Amino acid sequence: MDTIQKTINHISKTSKQGGLKIIWIDEPISLTHSSNNALLKTLEEPPNNTFFFLTHTHTLNSLNATLYSRCYIYTVPIPDPKISLHWLIKKTSIEKKKCKIALDVSNNYPIEAINLLQSHLWNERKDFFKKFYLACKKKNFFLLLPEFQLKNYNLKIEWIFSILLDALRFQYKNYIYIYNQDQLKLIKKITKLLSNNDIDKTIRSWLYCKKILSTTPFINVELIIAKELIKWTLN
């Protein structure tokens, strides 16, 4: 809410160059109810020469309906995976296998893939999955809680989705569609620990958890995630 309010206060001022003011909001689905309301009031009567760009990578029906009604929709298709992979290798000079994994776990979005490869996130991901393997080995997923006390808890949840979906692909022998090809040891461990039905239930439970975290204002993130990890361990 603070960020949205600061943005609204900022756009009410004249731009330094006396020109256009452009506001970019990435993934408005993550805005709380209060933030949505504050943004909607501004969108209904925006200041002169002010343009809002909202980027959204999920289905349109997951957007706030009123917010959606205030927007012009432009669909930007995902680039061809082969073209994206070629671009990524050329841009980073990183080996093909690693680039392919980064592209797959980034849902074929090349900009997200390059951000994953060229930041601390790649090593953070590897470290997270090492601790995930240990949690599987000890059958205690609550051991992952410290990982969520850091930043990027939403990203950690996405990594959980990714590895669980890979476990399902492994169970059904869809090996070529496994995204986290560098985490086969963990994927095999998950399939030995959880049945297909258990994996499916876990994915659905985390989806609900993510929805609660993204739509409930002033929520205690650590408490909600701790509850989810305890439930996962007990099941």
Whether residue 74 lies inside any domain: the answer is no
- 192-234 pLDDT, tens digit per residue, is 999 999 999 999 999 999 888 877 777 899 999 999 999 999 9
C-alpha distance across the termini of the chain, in Å: 36
pTM equals: 0.76
- In this prediction, residue 61 has a pLDDT band, given cuts at 50, 70 and 90, of low
Give yes or no for a contact between 141 and 232, defined as CB atoms under 8 angstroms apart: yes
pLDDT score of 147 more than 80: yes
**What is the signed CA dihedral for 4, 10, 11, 15, rounded to 10 degrees?**
-150
The overall average pLDDT reported for the chain is 88
Tell whether 175 and 101 lie within a shared domain.
Answer: no
Report DSSP letters for 30-52, one per residue. Answer: G--HHHHHHHHHHHHSPPTTEEE
> Are the C-beta atoms of residues 167 and 202 closer than 8 Å to each other?
no
> If you average pLDDT over residues 137-143, what whole number do you get?
96
Quick one: 89 exposed, middle or buried, by C-beta within 10 A (0-12, 13-18, 19+)?
middle
Q: Specify the CATH number for the domain of residue 60.
A: 3.40.50.300
> Are residues 109 and 133 both part of a single domain?
no
Residue 10 shares a structural domain with residue 48: yes
What is the pLDDT at residue 17? Answer: 59
Given a cut of 60, whether residue 94 has pLDDT beyond it is yes
Any idea what the CATH number is for the domain that residue 108 is in? 1.10.8.10
| Residue 184 and residue 215 in one domain | yes
222 shares a domain with 195: yes
pLDDT per residue over 103-133, tens digit each? 999 989 999 999 999 999 999 999 999 999 9
Let me know whether 12 and 111 are in one domain. Answer: no
Q: Are residues 90 and 63 part of one domain?
A: no
pLDDT band for 15, please (50, 70, 90 cuts).
low
Looking at residue 66, its pLDDT comes to 80
Q: What local confidence, expressed as pLDDT, does residue 86 receive? A: 97
The domain tally of the chain equals 3
Run of H or E including 148: helix 145-148
Contacts of 204 (CB under 8 A, 6+ apart): none
Residue 11 has pLDDT above 90, yes or no: no
Residues 215 and 135 in one domain: yes
Tens digits of residue pLDDT in 154-190:
889 999 999 999 999 999 999 999 999 999 999 999 9
- Do the beta carbons of residue 30 and residue 153 sit within 8 Å? no
> Residue 34 sits in which domain range?
2-69
Percent of the chain at pLDDT exceeding 70: 94
